[in-house]
Structure 1
Amino acid sequence: MNFLSHYYFDRHTSNCYHVLGTVLPDLLKNADKSIILHPEKHHYPDGDTHHIYNGWLKHLEIDRHFHNSDFFKTHSHQLKLELREVISGSPVKPFFLGHIAIELILDSLLLTTGRVKADDFYDHLSSCDHQSINEFLAVSGMTEPEVFSRFFDKFRTERYLHTYADASKVAYALKRICMRIWPSPFTPEQEAAMTNVIINYRNKTSETFMEVFDEIERALV
């Protein structure tokens, strides 16, 4: 799941460090895909680092339920098939596109239906200070936490998740993710076709997308 989908499950919490923990694994991958941490191998005392750790564990649990769900398997596969038709010749693997596309579509739908507010999510992140974050990262084995700090400050300043409310921006976000691996993943024509696929698929799932959130919520109890 993407950032706002993870936030959905803790949208009522008052602890900003827990919220940070629920999205930190993905934030770290975005900051530097070579960063690999295993917090479960370390000890975090009571306080901010412990809240980050608990959020981290919840992130892993939610992803496990999501990727094992029929919803994810069905829709990522269907999106793979539909996107494969419009990216012929692209180096991007269709299964990768299908996986990421359904996660971005879910974030978009949460925003446009008012089930989460991007500003609330960003306000939580803005309340977290670097000292506690760096302490967590250092205990987890990261030797250069400033790499993450620079990315994190930019992430919470730009607040680009607001753009997901526009379905056409979802396709753009998908392209940007692909560009981390493939410098020139799509032609302009492919981008336009992908946008149509994303918009149509988002409309098609708008009435049923909450099923997977309800399923995961039951599993978390």
Structure 2
Amino acid sequence: MNFLSHFYFDRNSEDPHLVLGTILPDLVKNARKDWNLHPEKKIELYDSQVEHSILTGWKRHLAVDRHFHNSQFFHAHTHAIRDLIKPSLQNSVVRPSFLAHISLELMLDSTLLTENHLDAEDLYVHLRQSDRALIKRFLEINQLDDTDHFFNFFEKFIQSNYLNSYRESHHIMYALNRICMRIWKDPLNEEQMQNLSVILSEYHELLKENYLEIYDEISLVIDPSI
């Protein structure tokens, strides 16, 4: 799941560091894709409540993703999207299964906003309130080797207010292309992007009929004490 979908499960939390933890795995990966942290292996080194809150959020993130990626909902929708977009990707290096996966996650984030299940600004408020010094210590304990680079990315992430752009369907295609550009050179041409935008916009409307099923399903199984 993407940033706003992870936030959905803790949108009523008053702990900014737990909320930060729920999206921190994706923040780290977006800052630098070769960073791989395993903070659950460093529990004995955390000596503040803030660090334990970040860890709790991190573990909740992993639990949510694990259930989501193994759900019937995920498999049914990614297979359907893949089959629809595959003809448009015949001459592209982009894998249809990859684009289907990311498309579904961005559509879900977008729907949470447009259907007023949460406000992206609430997430940004938590991130602004988080203690930078203790986040830095958490990252250093986990041997993240360039915290300056991470915080540069983190502050730009907050300042850009980018998640609110998911309210507009054409921004989803823009975001998808940007993600693909991190992996492949010249992944999509203009015609492919236009075709995909139409296909995904139509699918997005269909998704709105049952999108809450996966949130309800995960809410029932996720352990609130993680």
TM range (shorter): over 0.9
Q: Deviations over 1:166-215 (max 9, x none)?
A: 11111111111111001211010101111111110110011210000000
Aligned partner of 1:21 in structure 2 is 21
2 CA distance for matches of 1:72 and 1:148? Answer: 30
Aligned partner of 1:64 in structure 2 is 66
Aligned partner of 1:35 in structure 2 is 35
1 CA distance for matches of 2:170 and 2:154? Answer: 25
Aligned partner of 1:8 in structure 2 is 8
- TM score, norm. by length of structure 2: 0.96
Structure 2 gaps, min length 5:
none
Aligned partner of 1:216 in structure 2 is 218
1 CA distance for matches of 2:118 and 2:186? Answer: 33
1 CA distance for matches of 2:148 and 2:199? Answer: 39
The amino acid that maps onto 2:16 is: C
1 CA distance for matches of 2:199 and 2:51? Answer: 41
Aligned partner of 2:143 in structure 1 is 141
Q: Secondary structure at the match of 2:88?
A: coil
Q: 2:97 aligns with which of 95, 114, 132?
A: 95
Structure 1 gaps, min length 5:
none
2 CA distance for matches of 1:197 and 1:53? Answer: 39
Aligned partner of 1:198 in structure 2 is 200
Aligned partner of 1:178 in structure 2 is 180
CA RMSD of aligned residues (A): 0.9
Q: Secondary structure at the match of 1:42?
A: helix
1 CA distance for matches of 2:171 and 2:188? Answer: 15
Aligned partner of 1:79 in structure 2 is 81
2 CA distance for matches of 1:84 and 1:134? Answer: 42
Aligned partner of 1:131 in structure 2 is 133
Aligned sequence identity (%): 43
The amino acid that maps onto 1:86 is: S
Q: Secondary structure at the match of 1:90?
A: coil
Deviation at 1:220, TM superposition (A): 1.4
Q: 1:113 aligns with which of 107, 115, 130?
A: 115
Deviation at 1:88, TM superposition (A): 1.7
Aligned partner of 2:154 in structure 1 is 152
Q: Deviations over 1:91-113 (max 9, x none)?
A: 01111001111000000000000
The amino acid that maps onto 1:137 is: L
Contact 1:90–1:185 (CA<8 Å) still a contact in 2?
A: yes
The amino acid that maps onto 1:13 is: S
1 CA distance for matches of 2:220 and 2:8? Answer: 14
Contact 1:168–1:198 (CA<8 Å) still a contact in 2?
A: no
1 CA distance for matches of 2:47 and 2:217? Answer: 32
Q: Deviations over 1:16-48 (max 9, x none)?
A: 110110000011110000111111110222321
1 CA distance for matches of 2:8 and 2:18? Answer: 13
Q: Deviations over 1:133-159 (max 9, x none)?
A: 101101111122111101000000001
- TM score, norm. by length of structure 1: 0.98
